[in-house]
Each structure stands twice: as C-alpha cells, then as structure tokens.
Amino acid sequence: MTYHYEKVLTPSAGLRLHLNENTSGCAPGVIAALRGITCHQAAFYPDYSDVIAAAARYLRVDERQLALTNGLDEGILAASVAALRGSAEDAPFEAIVIVPAFDMYAACADAAGGRVIEIPLAGDFSFPLQQVLDHVNRRTRIVFITNPNNPTGRSVPREAILAIADAAPHATIFVDEAYADFSGTTLIGDAVLETRPHVLIGRTFAKAHGLAGLRVGALVGAAETLARVRRVVPPYSLNIAATVALPAALADTRHHEDYLRQVAESKRLLYSAFDRLSVEYWPSEANFVLARFAEGATRVVAELQKRCVYVRDRSRDAGCAGCVRITAGIIEHTRRCIDAIAEVLCGAR
C-alpha cells in the first residue's frame, strides 16, 4: 500500500475552515519584519542565530535541544528517515501510527521505506494504549502520537505516552504537539523526559501564530536524538522570510493570546449550536471541532461550499464515518459558519 498526503481545495476567497489555519492572519509585526528584508538578506544564505534564540526562549529549552524545520512536515519527514534508515525490503522497520491521524505520518514513513502499522482509536476515540503496546516489537523504529489528536481534538494521557516510551526504548517516540497552544499542555520541560531521550516533540508556528504560509516548525528533544535528525535536514532549510517572521510573531503575545481567546469562545459557540441542532460532536483541546452529520455529511460539506464556507469531510478516516472537522477560530467566522450549517440542516428538515 502506498500512502500520500491528501491535498484539498485551497480557495483564495471564502471562509477557509477546513485546514485548521489561523484565519485572523499573522501578527502585524510579522508584516513589518517581512517588509524590512533587504536586497542583501534576500541574496545571502540566512543566519539562524536570532530565530533559534527566539524559538528557544519561547519554548523554554536550550538551543541544543531545538531544531527548526521548514514546517513541521519537514520535521516529520526527517524523523522518519532518521528512524527508518536501513530498512530492509524483506524485513522492513515499522512505524506505528494511531489513526485517524495526520496523513504525513504514514506518507513519510512509507517514503522512508518503513512498514506502516495503523492502530485505530477506540470507538469513543479514546487512546488505544494496550493495542499500541501489543504491536511494539524489535522492528518498531518510530511511533507517531498526536496530542491533541487530529481530527478528534482529544488529548492523549501523559501516562500513556510514557508507557509507550518505556516499552520501545529502541524507537523514536514522535509526539506531535501542533495544537499544544490550545490545549495548554506539553511534554516540553517535563522532567521525565530526561530519562527518555528517544522522545521527540514536534511543534508548529502555523496554527496559533498564523505562519502557515511561511513554513516554520520545530523539533525539541535530546541533543543526541536531534543529531540524527539534523543529518537529514538541509543546512538552509528555513528561508529568510521565515527567519525574520518568527521572532516578530513570538514577540506579539497580545495577538497570540487574543487568538487563543477567540478559539475558546468559538468552540463554545459550536458546542451550543450542535446541541441545539442535535448534532453529535466531541469536545476539543485544539482549534477545531469534529462533528458527526452521519449520512448527511457529504451533502452538508457540499452545501456549505456553495455558500463559500469550506469545512473538512473526514468520513474516510478510521472511525470517522459521517464526520466533518470545522476550524474554530475567529468568532465572527464561527458565527457565519453556524448560520450556514443551520440553514443547510433546517432546510433539509
């Protein structure tokens, strides 16, 4: 089986609530920083000293524990190659992916020559710890865990992550914390990681900081674990625009905090609307909400698209039949989406 990332429609206009983007845009200081790029900065390879220092301060880690990547996607690919390098065709190394999950885990593990082992969440989307432990073996080289999960928005218990790390000391335990800004929980700085250097944490500045178009991600882990990953990442992976934008974004805490506040309120509005419309949903620790429209999911997505409201049909994901994922961001956008959903559902009834 071949795995790949499912590219979706990216309209230039309309309400984009299908890719978990920050639809408020980046902080104003980011644009000012980009406008300040000189002709020489554009012509020269970037110096990463300032951007690494800014990211390390923000994440509260030593610079030796940090690697910046061209979006977290590159970090996922680099970790996959580093872990699965040398995989044999007759007895390939294995990558465990708990599904539903971000497409890039399986796509990168497959591209690196590994065998992808998919383990589904339980029927209520709870974390299948025992099933993961049952599949860990000597060929396991990387385990992908999203916390909070995408697309369910549910958090993974810290104890479950540590149990997997203890069961697979020979594998990279990749904890994708792309949505940690919204959940408020992270393994970064957790003292237990000092005895588990094979745990690698992924972060992105695309969601909460609005830098998806500039492609900036980060890997946090032990220096020896990152050393293997650094061999895979190109020396000038971040372009000059990303290097000047990230410090500006991290400096504007007010913009960041306002977006987090709006996400929390938008989720509350969605929950209330779904209760009123008798739509099943799952409380989320991320900047999106997964809702089940059952057999009407495809029609709901299509009807919303006609109204230039774009949401993500996740019906083909494991255990997500009839489910739609909706970005919860700017309050005004959420209200417009709710009005459109109510119009579609009430019109059908």
Residue 13 has pLDDT above 90, yes or no: no
- pLDDT higher than threshold 70 for residue 287: yes
Torsion of CA 284, 290, 294, 298, to 10 degrees: 170
In the chain, % of residues over pLDDT 70: 99
Global pTM reads 0.94
Q: What is the mean pLDDT of residues 197-221?
A: 97
Q: How confident is the model at residue 8 (pLDDT cuts 50, 70, 90)?
A: confident
For 172-185, write each residue's pLDDT tens digit.
999 999 999 999 99
The percentage of the chain sitting over the pLDDT mark of 90, rounded to a whole number, equals 91
Q: Whose CA is closest to 28, among 249, 205, 213, 263?
A: 249
Residue scoring higher pLDDT (13 or 179)? 179
Map out the domains of the chain with their CATH numbers: 15-23+254-348 (3.90.1150.10), 28-251 (3.40.640.10)
Mean predicted lDDT score pLDDT of the chain: 95
User: Can you give 263-318 as a three-state secondary structure string?
Assistant: HHHHHHHHHHHHHHHCCEEECCCCCEEEEECHHHHHHHHHHHHHCCEECEECCCCC
